[in-house]
A and B are shown apart, each in its own frame.
Chain A
Amino acid sequence: MCQAGEDYGGCRAPPGRPHVSGAQKCMKCKEGAPVLVIRVGDAFCKACFREYFVHKFRAMLGKNRVIFPGEKVLLALSGGPSSSAMLRQVQEGLSRETAKRLRFVPGVIYVDEGAVCGQSPEEREDTLTRMQALLQASGFPHHLIHLEEVFELPSSILQHAPHAPSPPGSSYKAAVEGFIHQQRQGAAGTGDTMAPEGQVQERLAVLGMQEGAAASPEGLLPASALTEELRQLFGAVTTLTAKEELLQMLRTHLILHTARVRGYSKVMMGDSCTRVAVKLLTNLSLGRGAFLALDTGFMDDRHGDVAVVRPMREYTAKEVAFYNRLFGVPTVFMPALDTKVLEKPSIHRLVERFLYALQAEFPSTVSTVYRTGEKLSATPADTTAEPQRCLLCLCVLDTGVVEGSTLQALLISEELSRKRPSDPSPTRGGCCAGAGARRCCGSPPASGTKARADFLPLLCYGCRLTIKDMTCLEPLPPYIRSEAERRRRRATMKQEIQEYLLEDEAAEPKS
């Protein structure tokens, strides 16, 4: 096994790493003293670095043209370096002169995960207080959500909300021009004396009054019963990898739900280039290869009405860390699920360690992985039929068992290696008459292997692996279980009336 850090007794010559000396000047302005090295051998001075950093953010948004002027965008802040830098970029971008100003209306959200990260109540309160201060200092409407609130989510979050496909580039230009025109009219008119710069600010202030008030007395922790339920949920997960995946899933659902409820149509996540590269390789290892474009691309619109964008995905972790240090961006560090765990780490940690170690010797590793990932694009939506979506991650199901595929081989070997024969599935037709019947012959609702056997087909391959690492499905939040039940009943019903359904003309008639 290759280990990048290991020295093979001198038989391998270390690769020539271009050495940049401090005597060089900044490669951009040729005058300033360089303060950091970006990529391979590019030394930048402080001022040029700042310009480079700010420009990259605007270029990212401008190139992709998916955020329309006046749109409400929710910034997902984790307190970590990348999301804090993202917040700072948005603040800077909004405060520029009219022509170059960013034109959307931001809000900020923070999800408190202290319950599962092993923090004591005092530590949690401390972190929450600091995050509250940070959120308030941002000047935008903010929302502080506890992870415990997953138990109150409606199952609608797991349904793909239909959304008209976003207009192509030409409409974007028209939208921007219209917006600028509107602002100029506002300035010219004598009756309406609101300055164009003031319009966005005023809207923000109004939103702040409505929503800041709702968020403020929340420095306290949520009900301990809910915290206990959450701990039980994570306790039922056996591997660290599955815990990470579950945590990410729940966090995403919470953020998207908040966005939907509050009228935000976009969510900005602060994944940096390094994080995206790690995620790419991790997801491949987790069986989510089919969805790489959605999980790591710039825009992720699997939920339909709310889209996730990742404007920080071209900044390496080093650039972000330097920016935060040099320009005083406040961050709050909080331990994650597996901080300080070295033995039996999750797949996420292993891949991260691998990439970082490789990057130390070969400085173009991360960008190569990233660029390769950039070439991936989401398959265009199949417009003929509404595709089946995974219950948990809402990606189009990739588990159609094709003859001779790897999936088929996996399923066969799973069945063969089972110790005892699986429970024979009870006949559904007789006693489950009526769509509402949940219990079959008075026996308790499906539990154990049967519940799992019902649940798994609703998931994509990657989510199946996560759920398989759970000892039992009971602790799952109600919204997941009710949506699963709903889909199961629908599938049963569909099967029952299958022969009465009018088939498409292209389909072969049933004999």
Chain B
Amino acid sequence: MAAPVSLLVEFGGGAELLFDGIKKHQVTLPCQQEPWDIRNLLKWIKQNLLKERPELFIQGDTVRPGILVLINDADWELMGELDYKLQDQDNVVFISTLHGG
């Protein structure tokens, strides 16, 4: 049983266009059986935050190539990428490095 997790999710580099232009989202992930990790967070974002064109943000299980993920201002590669277990008050940033900026 995972406690509800409160996060600050930010979007940059153009990714915010898919989220109504809003760059910072303070979200609270609900209680659920499995612990929250990035993989589940992405699914949650797709269902709840993504307003349009999911294929421009998510590809399969993970983010589209060209979108960087920072967890607490550190590269997600150092944190385990999709398997990183989210903690309360974490800061997750998605920056798009694709053309358009």
Chain A residues within CB distance 8 Å of chain B: 4-5, 19-22, 24, 33-37, 43, 78-81, 274-275, 278, 317-318, 320-322, 325-326, 331, 333-336, 338-340, 342, 348-349, 352-353, 356-357, 359-360
Contacts and interface: CB of A to CB of B under 8 A. Distances in A.
A4 B95 CA distance: 21
Interface in B31-61: 53, 55-56, 59-60
B59 A321 contact: no
Given A326-B73, A333-B13, A333-B16, A81 B60 contact: no
Contact of A339 (B12, B14, B59, B66): B14
Interface string B59-101: 1100001101010011101111000000000000101011111
A356 B66 contact: yes
A321 B68 contact: yes
A318 B59 CA distance: 19
* Secondary structure of the A contact surface, majority rule: mixed
B27 interface: no
Contact of A5 (B53, B59, B99): B59
A321 B97 contact: yes
A36 B71 CA distance: 10
B13 A321 contact: yes
Contact of A336 (B60, B93, B99): B99
A331 B12 CA distance: 10
Interface residues of B, number: 29
A352 B17 contact: no
A321 B95 contact: yes
11 contacts: A22-B74, A33-B74, A43-B78, A322-B70, A325-B95, A335-B14, A336-B101, A340-B18, A342-B53, A356-B65, A356-B98
B55 A36 contact: no
Nearest to B55: A342
Closest 7 pairs (CB-CB, A-B): A317-B97, A36-B75, A360-B65, A356-B65, A80-B101, A339-B100, A356-B66
Nearest to B98: A352
Contacts of A81: 13, 97, 101
A341 to B, nearest CB: 10
Nearest to B16: A333
B56 A340 contact: yes
A336 B59 CA distance: 22
Given A333-B13, A340-B56, A342-B56, A35 B97 contact: no
B46 to A, nearest CB: 16
B100 A35 contact: no
A326 to B, nearest CB: 7
Contacts of B100: 333, 335-336, 338-339
A340 B101 CA distance: 12
A36 B56 contact: no
Contacts of A35: 73-75, 78
Contacts of B70: 322, 325
B14 A21 contact: no
